[in-house]
């Protein structure tokens, strides 16, 4: 019996895993195990022999069962230790930072422009980027022979042969929104219309797609003086410094009189500084809305008059934030976007982020 005890104690101690342990259990104390077979022999013994062997066999069985249970627990502990080692985690390590996206300068400046004009009572209107040539040209008093209609500036939509719908273009300016807005809402009105426009042009200051903001104010007695005040008020708020404007007579078919507007700036030291110096920078076209334009939009030119202007959003964004090349605006280079982009929390308001 001592041999038997020693054999199983040693085997249990060296069992490598739970399944080996289970095999041992069957082999020793299972129904046909070695100990069980020995117990069957008790029946053939004399009562005296049985009185000694019975308790001894029972004790041996208990001892082996206890050794099996202890080994099983030890194996489970070891397995848990092993797993914990693999799942070790240093909770004191700094977290991985996640990149935040940025707001594109065009979006930011559009919001800034909107906030400033909203404060002066202008609401925002929008129109389609693909428009008929009537809205983009005819209604704006741009006759068929005007150079702005030449194929080289304007992107025309392809039309299948036999398609009789009027020609459509990628709008070349935001001015068609003037017509669409007045058609729908009549006069008086005071709106700005920011959005994308398209022209076949590409160099450091021109891209085939760019952004404009249109302005339109129609009432009974609106004059060029109102235009000048509104623009100077706008530029002063936008650039955060007193900005004066210079009106130069110019021609746009949809205004009379028409003017190109320059803002005061200095080019000293190779950088542009707005609001100081003796130089001028052209930033927009404007004028008094032509009577034919009012008529095209079903507004009576004998009752109503007003001003319109069109300004390049990308242009004033470059000026305000010192961005040298327009083409980079639309290349989606992440390095550029991270450098010139704005935090989503930097929301433009008149008292906060508009100028800095
Ligand atoms: N639509 C003109 C342009 O794209 C700008 C403009 C708008 C001029 C309104 C006068 C009045 O250049």
| DSSP per-residue string spanning 162-229 | T--SPPEEE-SSSTHHHHHHHHHH-SSEEEEEEEEEE-S--BTTB-SEEEEEEEEEEESS--HHHHHH
Ligand 1 pocket: which of 147, 253, 254 to mutate (most atoms within 8 A of CB): 254
Say how many Å lie between the CA of residue 237 and the centre of ligand 1: 22
Mapped onto helix, strand or coil, the DSSP state of residue 124 is strand
Pick the atom of ligand 1 nearest to 173's CA: 4
Q: Pick left, alpha or beta for residue 208 (phi over 0 → left; psi -120 to 50 → alpha; otherwise beta).
A: alpha
Give the residue, out of 136, 147, 290, 310, with the most ligand 1 atoms within 8 A of its beta carbon, to mutate for a pocket test. 310
Q: What is the rounded CA–CA span in Å between residue 161 and residue 293?
A: 32
Ligand 1, atom 4: nearest CA belongs to which residue?
Answer: 173
What confidence tens digit (pLDDT) does each residue in 145-185 have? 877 677 658 999 998 899 999 999 999 999 999 999 999 99
Q: How far is CA 268 from CA 263, 274, 317, in A?
A: 15, 11, 20
**Rounded distance between C-alpha atoms, residue 210 and residue 170, angstroms:** 12
d(CA 212, ligand 1 centre) in Å: 9
φ/ψ (deg, to 5) at 266? -125, 145
- Give the mean model confidence (pLDDT) for residues 132-147: 91
Euclidean distance between the first and the last CA atom of the chain, given in angstroms as a whole number: 95
The answer to whether the CB of 248 falls within 8 A of the CB of 143 is no
Helices (H), the chain: 2-13, 18-29, 34-40, 47-86, 105-119, 133-136, 176-185, 224-239, 291-296, 313-321, 334-340
How many Å apart are CA 60 and CA 55, to the nearest integer? 9
Q: CA 220, CA 316: separation in Å to the nearest integer?
A: 31
Are the C-beta atoms of residues 226 and 247 closer than 8 Å to each other? no
User: Which pLDDT score is estimated for 52?
Assistant: 87
Contact at 8 Å (CB) between 60 and 1? yes
Q: 115 near 122, Cβ under 8 Å?
A: no
**Taking a C-beta distance cutoff of 8 angstroms, is the pair 8, 57 a contact?**
no
Segment 42-81, tens digit of pLDDT: 888 888 888 888 888 899 899 999 999 999 999 999 989 9
The total number of residues shown for the chain amounts to: 356
Per-residue pLDDT reduced to its tens digit, 190-216:
999 999 999 998 888 889 999 999 999
**173 in contact with ligand 1, CB cutoff 6 A:** yes
What is the percentage of the chain residues whose pLDDT exceeds 70?
A: 97
Q: Is 210 near ligand 1, meaning CB less than 6 Å away?
A: no
pLDDT, position 348 = 73
Cα torsion angle, 135, 117, 194, 208, sign: positive
Q: Does residue 308's CB lie within 6 angstroms of at least one atom of ligand 1?
A: yes
Query: Would you say residue 274 has pLDDT above 80?
Result: yes
The Å distance, Cα 201 to ligand 1 centre, comes to: 17
pLDDT attached to residue 98: 86
Going by pLDDT thresholds of 50, 70 and 90, the confidence category of residue 290 is very high
Looking at residue 303, what is its pLDDT?
Answer: 98
CB atoms within 10 A of CB 248: 11
- Going by pLDDT thresholds of 50, 70 and 90, the confidence category of residue 351 is low
Exposure pattern of 65-88 as b/e (b: 16+ CB <10 Å)?
Answer: eebbeebbeebeeeeeeeeeeeee
The finding on whether 238 has its CB within 6 A of some atom of ligand 1 is no
Q: Whose CA is nearest to atom 5 of ligand 1?
A: 310
| Helix 18-29 vs helix 2-13: crossing angle, to nearest 10 | 170
| Helix or strand (DSSP H, E) at 265 | strand 255-266
Q: Residue 170: CB within 6 Å of ligand 1?
A: no
Pair 216, 190: CB distance under 8 Å: yes
User: What separation in Å is there between the alpha carbon of 254 and the centre of ligand 1?
Assistant: 8
Q: Which pLDDT belongs to residue 352?
A: 53
Q: What is the pLDDT of residue 152?
A: 57
Q: Are 317 and 340 in contact (CB under 8 A)?
A: no
Substitution site in 251, 252, 308, 315 for ligand 1 pocket (most atoms within 8 Å of beta carbon):
252
Would you say 182 and 139 are in contact if contact means Cβ atoms under 8 Å apart?
no
């Amino acid at each position: 019996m001592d041999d038997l005890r020693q054999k199983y104690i040693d085997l249990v101690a060296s069992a490598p895993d739970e399944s080996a342990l289970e095999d041992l259990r069957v082999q020793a104390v299972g129904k046909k195990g070695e100990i069980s077979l020995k117990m069957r022999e008790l029946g053939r013994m004399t009562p005296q022999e049985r009185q000694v062997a019975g308790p001894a066999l029972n004790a041996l069985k208990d001892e082996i069962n206890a050794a099996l249970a202890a080994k099983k627990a030890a194996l489970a502990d070891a397995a848990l230790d092993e797993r914990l080692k693999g799942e070790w985690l240093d909770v004191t390590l700094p977290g991985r930072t996640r990149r935040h996206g940025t707001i594109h300068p065009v979006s930011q400046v559009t919001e800034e422009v909107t906030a400033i004009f909203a404060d002066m009572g202008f609401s925002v209107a929008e129109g389609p980027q693909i428009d008929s040539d009537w809205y983009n040209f005819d209604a704006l008093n741009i006759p068929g022979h005007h150079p702005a209609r030449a194929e080289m500036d304007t992107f025309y939509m392809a039309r299948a042969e036999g398609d009789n719908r009027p020609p459509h273009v990628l709008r070349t300016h935001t001015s068609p929104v003037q017509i669409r807005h007045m058609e729908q809402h009549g006069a008086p009105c005071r709106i700005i219309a920011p959005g994308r426009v398209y022209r076949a042009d590409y160099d450091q200051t021109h891209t085939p797609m760019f952004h404009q903001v249109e302005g339109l104010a129609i009432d009974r007695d609106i004059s060029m003086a109102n235009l000048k005040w509104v623009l100077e008020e706008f530029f002063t708020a936008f650039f955060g410094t007193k900005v004066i404007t210079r009106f130069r007579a110019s021609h746009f078919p949809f205004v009379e009189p028409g003017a190109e507007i320059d803002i005061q700036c200095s080019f000293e030291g190779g950088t542009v500084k707005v609001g100081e110096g003796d130089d001028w920078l052209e930033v927009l076209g404007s004028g008094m809305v032509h009577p034919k334009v009012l008529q095209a939009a079903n507004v009576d030119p004998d009752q109503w008059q007003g001003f319109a202007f069109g300004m390049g959003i990308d242009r004033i964004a470059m000026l305000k934030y010192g961005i040298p090349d327009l083409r980079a605006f639309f290349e989606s280079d992440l390095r550029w976007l991270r450098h010139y982009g704005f935090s989503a929390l930097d929301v433009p308001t008149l008292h906060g982020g508009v100028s800095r």
